[in-house]
Every structure is written in structure tokens, then in C-alpha cells.
Amino acid sequence: MAKLNILTIPDKRLKTKAVAVEQFDSELVTLVADMLDTMYAAPGIGLAATQVDVHKRLVVLDISEDKDQPLCLINAKITKKTGHQLHEEGCLSVPNIYAKVKRAELIEVEAQNEKGEVFQLRAEGLLAICIQHELDHLEGIVFLDHLSPLKRKMALKKLEKEKQENEND
């Protein structure tokens, strides 16, 4: 399997709105496998196709301790949201920046698997956060976009400072 390059802000491709997956073929199976490899290697607990410059409605996740419960959501839509939770988030596309984001506490999702079969899923806690975070990516949204203008400006300034420090090293 292959490890794919993960786009990082301010790459404008991260703002691309993904399109529905229509071909459930061997190419899709390979992409899912490569995305899982890339996510585990990062390491991360989620990855959206947008982040690897593939603008299709596909995300992978695995919040298990042993990294042995991969989940693939294709053409997912959130059909119900209940409550709110505040959780510190990071992002593989926004290195070394963390901030609290408000998300729905409990969600119901309808999606397709790699074979195109439709399924429903109820998620809460970290899994709900991760699914909402990844589905945001498919809309061209990163978690910083949920912050106040001041907090976003401070986060981007910190990112810029770290990039300059790394270039000087």
C-alpha cells in the first residue's frame, strides 16, 4: 500500500468541495487502503480524501486503542444531530495547532461502504467529533474555520511563526 501526501494549510486545494463517489470499483478499494495507511502512519484517527488531494466524498477513521477498527464512510450525510460538546481538536492539515471546537454530541449518519452498500451509524463522543471533523473537510472546511476571527488569526500567526522557525533551522 502507499502513503499519500497530506495537504497542509494554506493550500487552497483544502477548500475544494468534494463530489459524490459514483464508481465502487477496485480503484476505490485501493484509495481507501492507501488513506488508512496514510492515517495510521501520520498518526491520526481520521482522514478525509480532500486532505490527500482527492476531491471525492470519502473519509476513513479509526478511534480504537489497538488501531484495528477502521471505518470508511462514503457519500456520508448526517441525518440527525443532538446536543453539543466542546473538545480540543487538531488536524493533520493544520500541524501543531490545537483549539476547542463545539460539535454535536450525538449524530446519526447514513453512508455507503466500499461495496456501495448503504448503512446507518449512531455516534457520540470522540467518534462523533471525528466524523464531523472529517465531513467538514469534504466541504472545504478546516476546524480553524469554526473559531472566532481573533482566535483564528492567533492560530494562523502561530503556524506562520513555526514555519519560519523551521525554515531557519
Give me the residues that bind ligand K2U (CB under 6 A), please.
44-48, 89-93, 129-130, 133-134, 137
Least gap, CB of 10 to ligand K2U (angstroms): 15
* 2-10, 13-21, 76-84, 87-95 -> range binding Zn ion (CB under 5 A): 87-95
Partner from ligand K2U, Zn ion, none contacting 89, C-beta within 5 to 8 A by type: ligand K2U
> Among residues 116 and 139, whose Cβ is nearest to Zn ion?
139
| Buried residues in 59-94 as b, exposed as e (16+ CB within 10 A) | bbbbbeeeeeeebbbbbbebeeeeeeeeeebebbbb
The Cα 10–Cα 162 span in angstroms is 14
Determine if 91 is a binding residue for Zn ion (CB under 5 A). yes
Annotated active-site residue in 108, 134, 139, 165: 134
Determine if 61 is a binding residue for Zn ion (CB under 5 A). no
CA neighbor of 129 nearest in space, from 90, 76, 155: 90
Determine if 111 is a binding residue for Zn ion (CB under 5 A). no
Unique residue bearing C-alpha cell 467518534 = 127
> Among residues 91 and 155, whose Cβ is nearest to Zn ion?
91
Q: In this structure, are residues 54 and 40 in contact, taking their beta carbons and an 8 Å threshold?
A: no
DSSP, collapsed to helix, strand or coil, labels residue 38 as helix
124 given a catalytic annotation = no
Least gap, CB of 167 to Zn ion (angstroms): 24
The Cα 35–Cα 30 span in angstroms is 9
Where along the sequence are the contacts to Zn ion (CB under 5 A)?
91
Active site residues per annotation: 134
